[in-house]
Amino acid sequence: MTEGVRIEVTGPVAEIVIDNPPVNAIGRKLRLALVEAFDAVEADPAVQAVVLSAAGRTWPVGADIREFGLPPEAPLLPDVCNRIADCEKPVVAALHGNVLGGGLELALGARYRIAPEGTRFGFPEVALGLIPGAGGTQRLPRLVGAGPALDMILSGAAIGTERALEIGLIDAVGENDIAAEARALASEFATLGQEAYPAHDAERGLKDPVTFVEAVDAARARLRAEQLPAPARIVDCVEAALLLPFESGMAFERAAFEDLLASPESAALRHAFLAERRAARVPEASATPRDISHVGVVGGGMMGAGITSSLLSAGLRVTLVERDVDALSAGLAQIAKTHERAVAKGRLTPAARGEEWSRLRGSTDLQALAPVDLVIEAVTEDEEVKREVFARLDGVLRPGAILATNTSYLDINRIAGATQRPEDVIGLHFFAPAPVMRLLEVVVAERTAPEIVATAFDLARRLGKVAVRAGVCDGFIGNRILTAYRTAADFLMEDGASPYQIDAAMKAYGFPMGPYAAQDLSGLDISWARRKRLAATRDPARRYVAIGDHLCEAGRLGRKAGRGYYLYPEGARDGQEDPEVLALISRGRLEKGITPRRVSSEEIRARCVAAMANEGARILEEGVALRPSDIDVVMLLGFGFPRHRGGPMQAADQRGLLALRNELRGYAAADGPGAWLWQPGALWDELIKNGKKFASLNGD
């Protein structure tokens, strides 16, 4: 046996079992082992048919993403797939679990494919900025036609067994012991000859060229101009499956795959994939999590209701506590609305809604939380209010229950200090809307016990969220970087850019909305209150842009007030630019004696991203984040940072740390009282001196 593969011969059937835990990802060793295994079974005269199966929870889920940054080493995956396709003995692929990417390409090399109910098939490469690069764009359309193939490859979404059978991707749906079934089938091949079991014609999808071309044209017409490069290459490759002989089609696909592999977008998307998984590696991961089945939520406002919905859909029991009946009813109504929307969209059956609702209790008495395993507090963002709630909870909760706060900025050490059990206190910072947003910042206070951290990560997994570990500081990881981003934008606005130009520049970079439209949406009063809270301790010598304060003073509190940085007339979907705001900004500049200068969109993007990366570096120096990629995950999943840019730390790595540090120094030198924002810290020098990138601190 070679590493990752074993061969079991029973009579005339050889079973090649792929065994490369946890997900049978196809790396170099496995590729080599597969080729050797096929050579061996082909050379063995006793073997007349072959089964290709996989041990563990899944069939290979694709090529090993971690190897993509390294120089390619033979045999390449397309060669392995061709080796299977060229095997002189019939090959039955016994599929199960997730048959994805390069894994599906392996399966397409086999003559016959069977899978049990529940198997998923897909080409997720597009989400990594890639295309299937081991024959997927050639074999799939040949087998199932261009329409179904393009649907799968362009969307990246997986299909189930029923659909796979319908389009002819698999030949039969089998029982759970799929390998045994495949062995039985293979031994019949061996005795009866494979003609007795005609598999789908591998070229069936080319039989109707008109429909094929129509599907390609329709897909091409749907490609939008701003899309990433991969989708257009996918359409080209699928078209090539019809137009070119197989070998030329494979070469065409390979060239496209290699171009995309070298693109910064794909590097960033692959970074994002690995970063999300790396975030779970925390020092407390080996602690035993506590059992959580019943959660209390204090506060039924937008956040509390959202958190409750999220907990309910993960199968937990929830008791929601509000201070009076009216507030409680409003919270429950909000949860009911979320449920209703899910039912209307077909994401929840009415019966499942009933079941979820039956796990929810409402109360106006904190005492109702006596039996819960965990409480998540989501009351007003005010330290005194939160400390009072925690002190009262301390008296109500049983020993061993966990106390979590959903604060987005406040000092959790101080909140924990209001209890007699600070080791049971943690921050669980959800993002709005909580049922949708995949990020959970887990804020570990000074005295938080390791098993509480492990429990928080466990809970995040159950909620389908990605948890990132953060330390206590004003704003933790995400809001702290957001503040730096907004400050950079404010400096630019005061220097001469309009908020509309800044929003447009950041949208063009890939954010779903610019910083000013986003502030309008969340309400300008929120950050205003925070600025007022911090005013007493602010260094008066530091540059401070008061335009946001002036807007609030003029009653322009954002979308909910009908006006903020934009105007929102009744019924308008998008905000409209407002000359009054521009006049207000001009007045602000005049007061400070600033002569506006022309600011390019390029400069806006460069400065905003530089400010984010610089704040990220500070967060790393202070130990608030464990690693740069955690910062990226927070910004990607919580703040709309474009995934194909990978996050601020990845963007800094791609830009080059030396160039970026010099730019930061330049900004600092030219911006006297604003230099504090730009001044790069010692970490930059340390990395640059050693020829390293932020990624070197990710700890792989």
Minimum distance from residue 26 beta carbon to ligand 3H9 (Å): 7
Task: Tell which one of 99, 134, 169, 506 touches ligand 3H9 (CB under 6 A).
Answer: 134
Respond yes or no on whether the N-terminal peptide bond of residue 422 is cis (omega within 30° of 0): no
Q: What would you measure as the largest C-alpha separation in the chain, in angstroms?
A: 93
Nearer to ligand 3H9, 547 or 631 (CB): 631
The C-alpha atoms of residue 233 and residue 679 are separated, in whole angstroms, by 42
Nearer to ligand 3H9, 57 or 398 (CB): 57
Stretch that binds ligand 3H9, among 132-140, 398-406, 473-481, 646-654 (CB under 6 A): 132-140
Nearer to ligand 3H9, 124 or 575 (CB): 124
Stretch that binds ligand 3H9, among 61-69, 283-291, 395-403, 418-426 (CB under 6 A): 61-69
Minimum distance from residue 65 beta carbon to ligand 3H9 (Å): 4
In three-state secondary structure terms, 389 is helix
Nearer to ligand 3H9, 240 or 606 (CB): 240
DSSP 118: T
Task: Tell which one of 15, 64, 424, 630 touches ligand 3H9 (CB under 6 A).
Answer: 64
Closest CA to 642 of 547, 486, 540, 513: 513
Which one is catalytic: 103, 109, 125, 314? Answer: 125
Q: Which of residues 202-241 bind ligand 3H9 (CB under 6 A)?
A: none
Which one is catalytic: 27, 62, 102, 147? Answer: 102
DSSP 182: H
Task: Tell which one of 16, 77, 473, 636 touches ligand 3H9 (CB under 6 A).
Answer: 77
The C-alpha atoms of residue 253 and residue 133 are separated, in whole angstroms, by 6
**Does 304 help bind ligand 3H9 (rule: CB under 6 A)?**
no
DSSP 571: T
Q: Which of residues 96-125 bind ligand 3H9 (CB under 6 A)?
A: 98, 100-102, 105, 124-125
In three-state secondary structure terms, 392 is helix
The C-alpha atoms of residue 511 and residue 651 are separated, in whole angstroms, by 14
Q: Total binding residues for ligand 3H9 by CB under 6 A?
A: 24
Q: What is the dihedral of CA 167, 152, 175, 110, to 10 degrees?
A: 80
Token output for 307: 């958190």
Q: Write the DSSP assignment of 287-320 as a string of letters.
A: SPPPP--EEEEE--SHHHHHHHHHHHHTT-EEEE
Q: Write the DSSP assignment of 583-634 as a string of letters.
A: HHHHHHHHHHTPPP----HHHHHHHHHHHHHHHHHHHHHTTSBSSHHHHHHH
Minimum distance from residue 441 beta carbon to ligand 3H9 (Å): 19
Token output for 651: 């963007």
Stretch that binds ligand 3H9, among 29-37, 131-139, 401-409, 427-435 (CB under 6 A): 131-139
**Alpha-helical segments (H) within 209-263:** 209-222, 229-243, 246-261
Burial class (CB in 10 A: 0-12, 13-18, 19+), 469: buried
Cα-based distances in Å from 115 to 88, 94, 134, 500, 575: 23, 6, 21, 54, 51
Nearer to ligand 3H9, 461 or 543 (CB): 461
The C-alpha atoms of residue 444 and residue 472 are separated, in whole angstroms, by 7
Strand partners, 52: 16, 93
Minimum distance from residue 31 beta carbon to ligand 3H9 (Å): 9
Minimum distance from residue 533 beta carbon to ligand 3H9 (Å): 39
The C-alpha atoms of residue 32 and residue 38 are separated, in whole angstroms, by 10
Minimum distance from residue 532 beta carbon to ligand 3H9 (Å): 43
**Does 277 help bind ligand 3H9 (rule: CB under 6 A)?**
yes
Token output for 567: 């105007």
The C-alpha atoms of residue 23 and residue 98 are separated, in whole angstroms, by 9
**Amino acid (one-letter) located at 553:** E
Task: Tell which one of 47, 61, 279, 282 touches ligand 3H9 (CB under 6 A).
Answer: 61
Catalytic status, residue 125: yes
Task: Tell which one of 136, 231, 646, 680 touches ligand 3H9 (CB under 6 A).
Answer: 136
Nearer to ligand 3H9, 235 or 412 (CB): 235
Nearer to ligand 3H9, 464 or 656 (CB): 464
Four-residue CA torsion sign, 258, 260, 261, 262: positive
Which one is catalytic: 37, 101, 103, 105? Answer: 105
Nearer to ligand 3H9, 137 or 479 (CB): 137
The C-alpha atoms of residue 169 and residue 483 are separated, in whole angstroms, by 50
The C-alpha atoms of residue 163 and residue 91 are separated, in whole angstroms, by 22
For tokens 């048919």, the residue is 49
Q: Which of residues 156-185 bind ligand 3H9 (CB under 6 A)?
A: none
Minimum distance from residue 104 beta carbon to ligand 3H9 (Å): 8
Nearer to ligand 3H9, 626 or 657 (CB): 626
Task: Tell which one of 10, 39, 66, 217 touches ligand 3H9 (CB under 6 A).
Answer: 66
Which one is catalytic: 33, 49, 63, 268? Answer: 63
Give backbone dihedrals phi and psi of 319, rounded to 5 degrees, phi first: -115, 120
Minimum distance from residue 259 beta carbon to ligand 3H9 (Å): 13
Token output for 561: 């007030």
Catalytic status, residue 663: no
Nearer to ligand 3H9, 469 or 607 (CB): 469
Stretch that binds ligand 3H9, among 12-20, 58-66, 207-215, 391-399 (CB under 6 A): 58-66
Minimum distance from residue 635 beta carbon to ligand 3H9 (Å): 20
Cα-based distances in Å from 641 to 272, 513, 529, 632: 11, 10, 25, 8
Other residues' Cβ atoms within 10 Å of the Cβ of residue 589: 16
Closest CA to 149 of 126, 116, 117: 126
Catalytic status, residue 230: no
Task: Tell which one of 62, 471, 499, 515 touches ligand 3H9 (CB under 6 A).
Answer: 62
Nearer to ligand 3H9, 63 or 149 (CB): 63
Minimum distance from residue 589 beta carbon to ligand 3H9 (Å): 49
Nearer to ligand 3H9, 134 or 415 (CB): 134
Minimum distance from residue 110 beta carbon to ligand 3H9 (Å): 16
Stretch that binds ligand 3H9, among 59-67, 527-535, 578-586, 642-650 (CB under 6 A): 59-67
Catalytic status, residue 616: no
Task: Tell which one of 132, 478, 514, 558 touches ligand 3H9 (CB under 6 A).
Answer: 132
The C-alpha atoms of residue 612 and residue 680 are separated, in whole angstroms, by 11
Q: Which of residues 8-27 bind ligand 3H9 (CB under 6 A)?
A: 22-23, 25
Cα-based distances in Å from 424 to 393, 418, 444, 480: 12, 12, 10, 25
Minimum distance from residue 197 beta carbon to ligand 3H9 (Å): 28
The answer to whether residues 681 and 491 touch, using CB atoms and an 8 Å cutoff, is no
Q: What is the chain's alpha carbon radius of gyration, rounded to the nearest angstrom?
A: 29
Nearer to ligand 3H9, 23 or 47 (CB): 23
Closest CA to 52 of 69, 65, 68, 34: 34
**Does 141 help bind ligand 3H9 (rule: CB under 6 A)?**
no
Minimum distance from residue 131 beta carbon to ligand 3H9 (Å): 7
Catalytic residues: 63, 102, 105, 125
Footprint on this chain of ligand 3H9 (rule: CB under 6 A): 22-23, 25, 61-66, 77, 98, 100-102, 105, 124-125, 128, 130, 132-134, 136, 277
